Structure 1
Amino acid sequence: MNSSTSAAFWKGKRVFLTYPNSFLGAWTALSLQHLGAQVFGFGESLESSPNLFDLTNLGQTIAMTYGDLRNEESLRQALQFAQADVVLHLGETGFLKDGEQRPLELISKSVLGTAQLMELLRETASVRSVVVLGTDKAYVRANDNAAVSESSAVGPSGIFATSKLCSEFIALSYRDSFFSPEKYNKHKVAIATARISSAIGGGDFSSEGLIFQAVQSFLGKKTFEVRNPQSVRPWIHVLDQVSGILSVAQGLFEKGPKLSSATYNLGASEYESVGEVMKEFSEAWGKTWSSVSVADSSKSLSIHGQLNSELALTELGWKPQWDLSRALVETAKWYQGYYAGHSSVEELTGVLRSFYEG
């Protein structure tokens, strides 16, 4: 188990989790259940199928409220019912194209939804720890592509990234105005944001995901074209990402104002080209690189930003537990099992034991 994620801490904790039906949200809810926590979910119903939330029957095993975060009364009732110790606000998750297709809706849900949640936390006496999720794309890209730390400059970019940054600013504004670390002994609430990149892992059925596109090609369902195999990206397994989020929440709960930062980077430890990762994933699946079609390898090199996560290691003891090879093998095993008909909840979530107990 990652030394920063304690089953003893999470056992019996009441956790309010927004959007548990997203890919990241489902693995977060499953992890919390595995660690012995009681999960209270809040989010809108999913239109896409299959999805990990439904496959693992989370709708029946957590206390789930379907609603819009901007709906004050619905959210108030859910929070009052949960009487949560910890709030994990994953917020609107999705790909960047979502911002292009519905920018006003995305901005409204992200900004006003976060503001509504933070406002209602002022009257929720049970909460001690709050984590609001941000994105690595909030940072201004440096010309030398040096790894960015929590003190690096942030700024607007695409709609999705900007809406997430605004969500962080709302949360941190409430932290400064109503939950100041200097007055912690009065309100007993510790708040921080956490910035992450995209993750890989079984159960992601998004048509835009590189791994799922590769899976579909292996199954003969579509041709997968890697449009820029030289693009260098961060690679991290979703359970390492979840353990990072839980580490921030646990640190806030146990240390409160003793933590030095209002924001923590939870970044990957490995950065590889898409082409190399697709080759390794093909091998993990038992296929060869020739099964993946490369559309144009002559396109310009694209390098994604790198997160410096030293602060999370120093203050929280967190770092990715699985290297890229292990992450790809576990991801391949999950999809192979699923498409072979191994669809029981125990089979779908067996990877939790390997991660948290292995």
Structure 2
Amino acid sequence: MESMVKSSFWLDKKVFITGHTGFKGSWLSLWLLQLGAKIKGLSLEPNTHPALFEQLGLAEQLSHHIGDIRDRELVSRLIHQWQPDVIFHLAAQPLVRRSYLESVETWNINVMGTVYVLEALKSLTTPCASIFITTDKCYDNREWLYGYRENDPLGGYDPYSSSKAGAELAIASWRNSFFKNSQTPIGIASVRAGNVIGGGDWAENRIVPDAMRALMAKQAIPVRNPQATRPWQHVLEPLGGYLLLAQRIYEQLMTPYWQQDLRGLYGAFNFGPSLRSNRTVRDLVEGILSHWSGTWLNQCVSNAVHEAKLLNLVTDKAFHTLRWQPIWDFEETVQKTVTWYYQASQMAIADKQEFRALTQKQIEQYQNDAHQLTNSPEKLTFQEVQ
């Protein structure tokens, strides 16, 4: 089974990305451009300063549309006009703490925005692999030691997490109601990953951006919840899984229907690190400080809004279906992340070519390491995932 992201597949593929101006969307857009894909993106303007999308100069590299995912007519028109081979739906309100302040907006964006993309799929006349990005926080988190599997109950304590569970229900409903036996082959899968880190994330109230801003200002890193455990992974890990899944779905859609084997490709997929990368926030901060000298300050407060303290994912479905597994361990993930920010801090803010070169280099390193792992069968074992 092929387990590599293939440039031969992505060359000249028409890809539609919602949320392409965000952190993950920018990394995904750059990777797809390197692979030779043609991209149309729909998103709001970047809401951070700086913003990775602007640092990379991506607006000049793709068909860039500013708009709201809640604009049903706009979503429908752009997707219908583009007739994409692949859709990645990333547009979301992605912050737990903000969801307490903007709960209705969070649900509108994350649930109805997803529904509008699903509705737009009905207008497509050619095969399309559609990947809907949700989150690992969509599960009913019992704070247990075991990892969550794709068939575990959905839930969500806070408005962000519960809105993503709602999005998962909508994805499953539309897939079963409108595309299960469709004359036009549309493949729909949802993907769940979280606690993604990497260079270029400048969002508020996230530990890595908070840490980098503090280090650049020569201040102590503020840490709200040092004992919370998370499955930390580099942004390229889940993106590689999304690309692999889209490849597999599209290749099967293009196969004569009597030869298609789509079993296991639809539905939900977890993409997370090995259990060895499930570390505390304190471990993460101390790992960052091993590469960039500084200090941290415990700012835990008793009346803070609820945030989960323990969360793990089981990724055996992705391994057995796609032969996907994590490439970079916790230490390398932290090192690559800090390296990006440190080198970026030495660059002129307007030097887009330098920012692209830095980011492209890490994509190439990741692909090379993935290639080496794929060519070492003795290392391609599910034990590495567990």
TM-score with structure 2 setting the length: 0.85
Q: Deviations over 1:194-231 (max 9, x none)?
A: 11112110001123121222222322354322233222
Quick one: distance in 1 between partners of 2:138 and 2:234? 21
Unaligned runs of 5+ in 2: 254-260, 370-386
Alignment partner, residue 243 of structure 1 = 240
Which residue of structure 2 aligns with residue 325 of structure 1? 331
Question: Alpha-carbon deviations, 1:281-336, whole Å to 9, x = none?
Answer: 11122x26xx222346999x974211100000100111111111111111111111
Q: What is the aligned residue count?
A: 350
Residues 71 and 93 (structure 1), Cα distance of their counterparts in 2 relative to 1, 3 Å cut: closer
Give, in whole Å, the separation in 2 of the partners of 1:303 and 1:76: 39
In the TM superposition, what are the counterparts of 1:93-132 in structure 2 within 5 Å? 93-132=93-132
Separation (CA, whole Å) in 2 of partners of 1:266 and 1:31: 18
Task: Tell whether 2:275 aligns with 1:271.
Answer: no
Which deviates the most, 98-107 or 222-231?
Answer: 222-231
Q: Note if contact 1:234-1:304 (Cα within 8 Å) is conserved in structure 2.
A: no
The yes-or-no answer on 1:262 pairing with 2:259 is no
State the identity as a percent.
26
- Residue matched to 1:217: 214
Match of 2:42, SS? strand
Give the corresponding residue for 1:50. Answer: 50
Counterpart amino acid of 1:192?
A
2:192 aligned partner: 195
TM-score in terms of structure 1 length: 0.91
Moved more, 71-80 or 34-43: 71-80
Compared CA separation, residues 303 and 71, structure 1 to 2 (3 A): closer
Matched letter for residue 268 of structure 2: T
Partner of 2:74: 74
1:165 equivalent to 2:169? Answer no
> Contact between 1:252 and 1:259, CA under 8 Å: does it hold in 2?
no
- The DSSP-based 3-state class of the residue aligned with 2:189 is strand
Q: Which moved more, 1:250-259 or 1:156-165?
A: 250-259
Q: Deviations over 1:89-143 (max 9, x none)?
A: 1130421122112111221122222212111210111342111111111111235
- Give secondary structure in 2 for the equivalent of 1:349: helix
> Is the Cα contact below 8 Å between 1:87 and 1:127 reproduced in 2?
no
Distance (Å, rounded) in 2 between the aligned partners of 1:295 and 1:208: 13
CA separation of 1:309 and 1:340: change in aligned 2, threshold 3 A:
same
Match of 1:314 among 307, 314, 320: 320
Root mean square deviation, CA, Å:
2.3
1 CA distance for matches of 2:239 and 2:272? 11
- Separation in structure 1 between the aligned mates of residue 143 and residue 15 of structure 2, nearest angstrom: 40
How big is the shift at 1:74?
A: 1.9
